[in-house]
Amino acid sequence: MKPIVIAHRGASAYLPEHTLPCVAAAHTLGADYIEQDIVLSRDGVPMVLHDIYLESTTDVARQFPDRARDDGRFYAIDFDLAELKTLAVHERIDPLGNAVFDGRFPVVDLELRIPTLSEEIILIEGLNKSRGARTGYYIEMKSPTFHAAAGLDIAAATIKVLDAAHLHHERAPIFFQCFDPQTLRHLKHKVKSPLPLIQLVGDNSWQEPPGVDFDFMRTDEGLDDVASYADGIGPWIPQLFEADGTTPTNLVAAAHARGLLVHAFTLRADSLEAGFKDFESLHQGIFLDAGIDGVFSDFPDITRQFIDTHINADVTSS
C-alpha cells in the first residue's frame, strides 16, 4: 500500500485550520484523508475544532468578554452551538495575539465559522461526488475525560453523527484516533465500532491525557497491549528517530511486527524537526528511512507530490 496523506486540520498551511475553505482546499490538493478534531458544544454538538479552548482561533474574547473561566480561557463546552456559530474563525494566534506561523494566511476576519461535523461531512461527501473522489475522514476525539466530567460522551455524540450520515460501517473511509487508550478500548470492546482505531502516541511531558505513559506504550510490552485494541499507532515524528535526529528507531518495525499501521504527526515545512535540513529530506526520512504508512501534513500537496514521485506502490511493504 502506498502511504496515505492525511491533511492535518485541512490544508492548514494555506487557510485557517478546520474551516470549510481549508477542508475544500485539502480535498483538491490530493489528501487521501482529511482530519477532523472533535470538541463538543455545551448542547452536545460535535464541532470541528482543534482546542477545547476558543481564544486562539476565534474572536470569542471580543464577542463574549465575560465568558472566560477563572483561568482566563474560553471553553467551547461553555457555549451552545448557536453561540459558537457567531464566532469568526481566524488564523491561529499566540497568547500575545501574534500569528503562530508567520508566513501563513493573514489573521483577518473573513466571516469563517466553526463547522459542525455534520456540515463537514456534507462538504466532503459533496466534493467526493462532484470530483469523483473518495477522500476519507480521520477523526480525533479530543479530551474524552474532560468532556465526560461535563456529563458529555464525545464518542457517542460523534458516532451518532456518523450513523446519521450512514458512515459508521466497515467500508466507510474513516479512521478514529485518540490519545486516550480508555476511549479506544471502549470503542473496540463496548461500542464494537467497525472503524479502524489509531492510538496516538504523545510525549509524557504534554500530560495529555494525564497519567498515560507513552514511553511504556512504545516498548514491546506496550505495543503488544496497543495491538489488543487498536489497528495502528500515531507517533510524534521525533519518536521515529534516535537522538541524532535522523537514524530511525525500531518503533516502526516493532509496530509492523504486531500488524499495527504507523501514521505519524505532523509535517510542517515552516517548523521542521531538528536534524533535517529541509522539507524534502524530512519526507525522505519518514517515508524512505523510517517506513511509515501515512502522515499528517499541513502541506498535503507537497506530501502528495513526494509520495507520488518517490514511492512505488508495488515495492513498499506493509
Of the ranges 22-30, 118-126, 135-143, 240-248, which one interacts with Ca ion (CB under 5 A)?
135-143
- Least CB distance to Ca ion at residue 10 (A): 11
Dist CA 10 CA 36 (whole Å): 8
Footprint of Ca ion on 47-106 (CB under 5 A)? none
Which CB, 53 or 254, lies closer to Ca ion? 53
SS3 letters for the chain? CCCEEEECCCCCCCCCCCCHHHHHHHHHCCCCEEEEEEEECCCCCEEECCCCECCCCECHHHHCHHHCCCCCCCEHHHCCHHHHCCCCECCCECCCCCECCCCCCCCCCCCECCCEHHHHHHHHHHHHHHHCCCCEEEEEECCHHHHHHCCCCHHHHHHHHHHHCCCCCCCCCEEEEECCHHHHHHHHHHHCCCCCEEEEECCHHHCCCCCCCHHHHCCHHHHHHHHCCCCEEEEEHHHHECCCCCCECCHHHHHHHCCCEEEEEEECCCCCCCCCCCHHHHHHHHHHHHCCCEEEECCHHHHHHHHHHHCCCCCCCC
- Least CB distance to Ca ion at residue 142 (A): 7
Footprint of Ca ion on 24-43 (CB under 5 A)? 37
Would residue 8 show up in a list of annotated catalytic residues for this protein? yes
Minimal CB distance to Ca ion: which residue?
A: 140
- Least CB distance to Ca ion at residue 64 (A): 25
Asked whether position 231 contacts Ca ion by CB under 5 A, the answer is no
Which CB, 175 or 306, lies closer to Ca ion? 175
Which of 18, 27, 50, 283 is catalytic? The answer is: 50
Q: How many residues form the binding site for Ca ion (CB under 5 A)?
A: 2
Would residue 189 show up in a list of annotated catalytic residues for this protein? no
Which CB, 35 or 273, lies closer to Ca ion? 35
- Least CB distance to Ca ion at residue 35 (A): 6
Of the ranges 74-82, 119-127, 133-141, 306-314, which one interacts with Ca ion (CB under 5 A)?
133-141
- Least CB distance to Ca ion at residue 177 (A): 7
Of the ranges 72-80, 138-146, 163-171, 245-253, which one interacts with Ca ion (CB under 5 A)?
138-146
Among 32, 91, 120, 140, binds Ca ion (CB under 5 A): 140
Beta carbons of 26 and 50 less than 8 angstroms apart: no
Which CB, 140 or 293, lies closer to Ca ion? 140
Query: What are the catalytic residues?
Result: 8, 50
List of residues contacting Ca ion (CB under 5 A) = 37, 140
